[in-house]
Amino acid sequence: MKTRNLTTLIGTLLLAASANFMLVSECSAIEKVNSSSKNGITPETDSILAQNAANALRQLASARSDISKNNIPGAQAAIGKTLDIMDRMKARFATMRLQELIAAARIRLTYQVPKKVLAYLELINPVFEDIREPSALTEVKRALARAEGFLKNSDKDAADRELAALTDVLLYRTEVRPLALAERHLLTAASELDKKNTEGADRALAESENNLNILALGTYAPLSETQTSLRQAVRNYAMGGGTAASASLEQASHAIEHTLKDAELKGRNELKKLNGDIRALIAKSTQSGEKLASSIKALWERGDSLAERAMDYQNAAWEKFHSSDADAEDIIEAKLHIAYAEIYEFTTGETQKSATELDTAEAYLQKAAPRLSASEKTTMDMVNKDLRQVKAELGKNQSKQLERYATIRDSLSQMVH
């Protein structure tokens, strides 16, 4: 951790020493940022991010293991390695490079006259057009305009507050958000370890893991592409775009077919079944009515459940289970069928299918039960109680049922993680 802090200090001093650089030199650097970010995160870049996120998760798993053994130096070393990996990941995001430009502007406020800082802001202003999220871009433009207004009135403090707010937008309202949050929690963990607070450090590491999991799955992973296309199909149909909805369903199907080429894919049969149902729905997409709309939504929800299962398997592999552990696999599969039961009950109204899914989930839980620890068996008893209530109340009290489904899924997630 000391090495990293020293590096940060040196970087800050070097940045401050650049006070007399010509704006034309800055323009060249900014153009370099701009040219590399025009198309946002590409599939190739996203694949690299996912690999780095997976490596970071392994380091975090090592850190949490060291914490459980009260090996604070070992945990600190693993956190340091994770932060180094994150630094490489940050370089892949245009918004992180934009944030660095704003950080440079805030440093300039400490030693330059407002006129020069204003010239710098005006120079980098066009770079922000590369932000892909419309709402974030709107907020950035407004904050920049306010900061420039305060600088024209020589109000440095107010300008700095606007630039700080702009930084928050770049970090937490754009595609870099999971990484920014993961780093924030990781730094919190490092701070807690410095105070010998291992419990607080472990909680912070768990939060960091949650955000890195999003990146590890990959935004452009085929299953995510499937979800994006299914979501768009729902929207298109809702707006009366039957043809557009059909095209989105086709895209979702192609994405699944691409996913099925993965030789190590878990849940291949479920994906094949989902794809078959998508193809069947495409043939009916010229029809109209609420039933078709609910069918499209149900497909999206099933895909969402499969995506969550993929994350559960990755978590199981990186944390206390191994991906081949029967206990973890049975619990993960049970959780998937619980999700399916909820979809059939509340999205398509097929309570008989819901009952079948609940029976399947129960069978997986019974298979896992003999190998659970004492604490896990206590949790399993609660799950079985809620499961019996869900089965008894199928098609009845919706609010209570939804609450029970959520409780069961949360309990099973705790057992996996």
Region of residue 154 (left: phi > 0; alpha: psi -120 to 50; beta: else): left
Residue-level pLDDT at 217: 61
Do 181 and 247 fall into the same domain?
no
Which of 161, 191, 216 marks a domain boundary?
216
Of the given ranges (47-56, 180-189, 327-336), which has the lowest mean pLDDT? 47-56
Q: Is residue 88 part of a domain?
A: yes
Judge whether residue 317 has pLDDT over 80. no
Q: How confident is the model over 45-104, as pLDDT tens digits? A: 666 777 788 788 888 888 988 898 899 999 999 999 999 999 988 888 878 888 889 999
Judge whether residue 369 has pLDDT over 50. yes
Do 285 and 179 fall into the same domain?
no
Residue-level pLDDT at 293: 74
Which of 272, 304, 336 marks a domain boundary?
304
Residue-level pLDDT at 18: 38
User: Which of 212, 264, 219 has its CA nearest to residue 55?
Assistant: 212
Residue-level pLDDT at 39: 40
Beta carbons of 391 and 346 less than 8 angstroms apart: no
Of the given ranges (146-150, 212-216, 298-302, 394-398), which has the lowest mean pLDDT? 212-216
Residue-level pLDDT at 196: 93
Task: Please state at what angle helix 268-284 crosses helix 242-259, rounded to 10 degrees.
Answer: 160
Confidence category of residue 107, pLDDT binned at 50, 70, 90: very high
Confidence category of residue 177, pLDDT binned at 50, 70, 90: confident
Q: Is residue 31 part of a domain?
A: yes
Judge whether residue 180 has pLDDT over 50. yes
Do 142 and 187 fall into the same domain?
yes
Q: Is residue 313 part of a domain?
A: no
Do 210 and 239 fall into the same domain?
no
Do 255 and 140 fall into the same domain?
no
Which of 166, 182, 216 marks a domain boundary?
216
User: Which of 168, 18, 171 has its CA nearest to residue 94?
Assistant: 171
Residue 201, classed as helix, strand or coil, is helix
Do 252 and 392 fall into the same domain?
no
Do 31 and 123 fall into the same domain?
yes
Q: Is residue 300 part of a domain?
A: yes
C-alpha 100/C-alpha 126 separation (Å) is: 15
Do 138 and 239 fall into the same domain?
no
Judge whether residue 149 has pLDDT over 90. yes
Do 226 and 209 fall into the same domain?
no
Judge whether residue 360 has pLDDT over 90. yes
Q: Is residue 312 part of a domain?
A: no
Do 168 and 42 fall into the same domain?
yes
Average pLDDT over residues 267-294: 78
Do 402 and 342 fall into the same domain?
yes
Residue-level pLDDT at 41: 56
Average pLDDT over residues 290-309: 80
Q: What is the DSSP letter of 414?
A: H
% of the chain residues with pLDDT over 70: 81
CA distance readout (Å), 102 to 76, 96, 128, 150, 290 = 30, 10, 11, 16, 49
Q: Is residue 311 part of a domain?
A: no
Q: Is residue 75 part of a domain?
A: yes
Average pLDDT over residues 388-417: 85
Q: Is residue 340 part of a domain?
A: yes
Q: Which residue has the higher pLDDT, 289 or 202?
A: 202
Judge whether residue 15 has pLDDT over 60. no
Do 75 and 126 fall into the same domain?
yes
Confidence category of residue 376, pLDDT binned at 50, 70, 90: confident
Q: Which residue has the higher pLDDT, 317 or 253?
A: 253
Name the domain count of the chain. 3
Judge whether residue 345 has pLDDT over 80. yes
Which range of residues forms the domain containing residue 230? 221-304
Beta carbons of 34 and 130 less than 8 angstroms apart: yes
Winning range, highest mean pLDDT, from 18-27, 355-364, 373-382: 355-364
Judge whether residue 235 has pLDDT over 80. no
